[in-house]
Structures are given as structure tokens and as C-alpha cells.
Structure 1
Amino acid sequence: MKNNTITLTEQLYQQLCNHAKNCLPNEACGLISGNGNFVKSVFHLPNTSSSINRFYIKEQHVAKALHQISEKNEEVLAIYHTHPSSQATPSTSDLVNHPTSDVKMMILSLKQQPYPIQCYQVNHLSYTPISIVIKEGGISLCHNVES
């Protein structure tokens, strides 16, 4: 997963956009999983902070999603969230709260259309952009994880 490109289907990108719009005015969040650098599944997780500029995911929601990811023989590629009114660039809070450098950060901005999506490799308080390729076709799944 050290490659500098991550591939996402158009279908999953649209599902991320729909989830983001449905969560407005608050941030949407979740996990992105797959194999290597190819996204196969998206897990929409509840933002329990109900905030326009922060997200918090309860441990039990993460655990449930991780179990489903493991059952699919996939790995977590990224934690995603949205920026409803700002650019798809990590905030200081995003960087401080990112749990591990082993998982990328993906941000979808709703500030302009089409909605820009960016991916980053985070290392403490610094980040490096990772290219995202959005392709048509492919098998992709979207899951809503609730309590």
C-alpha cells in the first residue's frame, strides 16, 4: 500500500458524494477498504459529534466495520470524511486525530462541484498527497454501519 495512487470506482465515488450530501450540514465519515491500492468497499459510519467541522466515530461502529472488512478479506485503506464548506485539505484537527500512518486519509469537499476528493498519507502533523484514479466499472460495495 506504499504506492502513490489509489483507485476508486465511479460508483463508489458517487456513493461517497450521496452520503456526504445526506449528512449535511455535518461532516460525513467512514472507512474505505480494498486490496492493495484498489478500493472495493465503503463503510458509511455515523458521525456522533454532529458537527459541521469535526467527526467522531464510536468504537463499536469501527469494530463492526473492521469485522466486516476482515470477513471480506480486505484491508482498511483509508478513513474518509467530508469538509462541507472547505477545501479537501486536512485541518490541524484532522492531522492531530488521525489514528495511524498505516491508513490513508481521504477527504471529500462539498464546497464546489464536481466534488473534489483528495487522499493523503499522514505522518504525525504532516501529510503527502496521494493520487486518486476514479474509473468506471468494477465491483464495488457500499455498507451503512449503524449501532
Structure 2
Amino acid sequence: MFRELRVPLNPDAGAAAAVNQKFDFYNKNVVYINRSVLNEIINHCREDLPYEACGLLSGQHGRNEMMWKIRSTEKSPTSFAMDMKQVSAALSGMKKLSQTMTGMYHSHPSAAPLPSRDDIRNFHDPAAAYFIISFANRKTSVKCFKIIDHKAFQVKFEVIR
């Protein structure tokens, strides 16, 4: 179901079950994201090159239907820190739209689209999707992960609409 990174390959059943309980819609093994949202994310990340970009995702029923650009307080090609005032405003906006946070994204301007140790340590919502957009070798690559108990699991994502 999941492929764990940086640790032995089979996640424990408890971690996988926790994801399935919180991430239960249509197909538990797939993250859904609207095509327009994915395009907006890629454009945002490209605009912020050579620095890392970041943002939040929201929607209903676990689908990633809207993106919220968040300013990084770090201007760095290898790290980011979300502006907490913008995070708070985004969460308020989600609530007004009757949406929940379904995920987040950030870019790796020159590294592979794999979560770093800092990414794994700092991301705490096992139900949320974690998208990483890479521009390494001048190619755009997108991967999606779940981070559970400080372990990263790559998951399939499906672009809809």
C-alpha cells in the first residue's frame, strides 16, 4: 500500500491503518488533486525559483480542490518556513468555505522530489497529502507522500477534472 522512505520498506500495520481511518474516500490508496490546482502549484513553485516555495491545500472529502500560496519567511534554495500569519489566514479562509486542510506542498528547486529529514520531522498530519515539486535537471517532477509517525510513504496521486 505504501512505500516507506529512509527506513525499512514495509510500514507497520498500525501506521497504515491510521492513514486509512483518516483518509477514507473512494480509494484509500490514491490522493486526488484537481488539474487546475496542480498547475497553480507548479506555476507558484516555478515563480519562486531559485528559492523553495510553499503552500497549503484544501477541499472537501479529502480532495485537494484549492491551493493557498504561503510566503516563505526564508529565502533559500534548500529550506522554507511558512509565514504563520498567512497560514492562519488560509485556515480561516478554508473554514469560511466549509473546507478542511487536505495537504501542503513545497518545492525543491534543484533536489529530487523526496522529503528531507526536516520535512519529515516538521510535518505532523498523517491524513494530509504532502506534495513535493522538483525542478532538478530542468525537469518538473511531482511526488506525493503521507508522513506518519515521522516516516514518509510515497502514495499515488490522481489528477482529476
* TM-score of the aligned structures, taking structure 1 as reference length: 0.85
Specify every segment of 5 or more residues in structure 2 that has no aligned partner in the other structure, as ranges: 1-22
User: Is the CA contact 2:58–2:102 (under 8 Å) kept in the aligned structure 1?
Assistant: yes
- Tell me the CA shift for residue 114 of structure 1: 5.5
Aligned to 1:98: 123
Aligned to 1:67: 92
Q: In 2, distance between residues paired with 1:124 and 1:18?
A: 31
Question: CA offsets, 1:57-84, max 9 Å, x none?
Answer: 1221110000001111111111110111
- Report the count of equivalent residues: 136
Aligned to 2:47: 22
- Tell me the CA shift for residue 20 of structure 1: 0.7
Q: In 1, distance between residues paired with 2:138 and 2:100?
A: 30
Aligned to 1:125: 150
- Tell me the CA shift for residue 90 of structure 1: 0.4
Is 2:107 the partner of 1:107?
A: no
Q: In 2, distance between residues paired with 1:52 and 1:114?
A: 16
- Tell me the CA shift for residue 102 of structure 1: 3.6
Q: In 2, distance between residues paired with 1:85 and 1:124?
A: 27
What's the % identity of the aligned pairs? 22
Aligned to 1:44: 69
Looking at both structures, which has the greater relative contact order when contacts are Cα pairs under 8 Å and sequence separation is at least 6? 1
- Tell me the CA shift for residue 112 of structure 1: 4.9
* TM-score of the aligned structures, taking structure 2 as reference length: 0.78
Aligned to 1:58: 83
Aligned to 2:5: none
Structure with greater Cα Rg: 2
User: Is the CA contact 1:5–1:37 (under 8 Å) kept in the aligned structure 2?
Assistant: no
Q: In 2, distance between residues paired with 1:51 and 1:114?
A: 20
Aligned to 1:143: none
User: Is the CA contact 1:31–1:79 (under 8 Å) kept in the aligned structure 2?
Assistant: yes
User: Residue 26 of structure 1: SS of its match in structure 2?
Assistant: coil
Counterpart AA for 1:34: G
User: Is the CA contact 2:124–2:147 (under 8 Å) kept in the aligned structure 1?
Assistant: no
Q: In 1, distance between residues paired with 2:113 and 2:154?
A: 11
User: Is the CA contact 2:64–2:103 (under 8 Å) kept in the aligned structure 1?
Assistant: no
Aligned to 2:112: 87
RMSD over aligned CA atoms reads 1.6
Structure with the largest fraction of strand: 1
Q: In 2, distance between residues paired with 1:113 and 1:6?
A: 26
- Tell me the CA shift for residue 32 of structure 1: 0.6
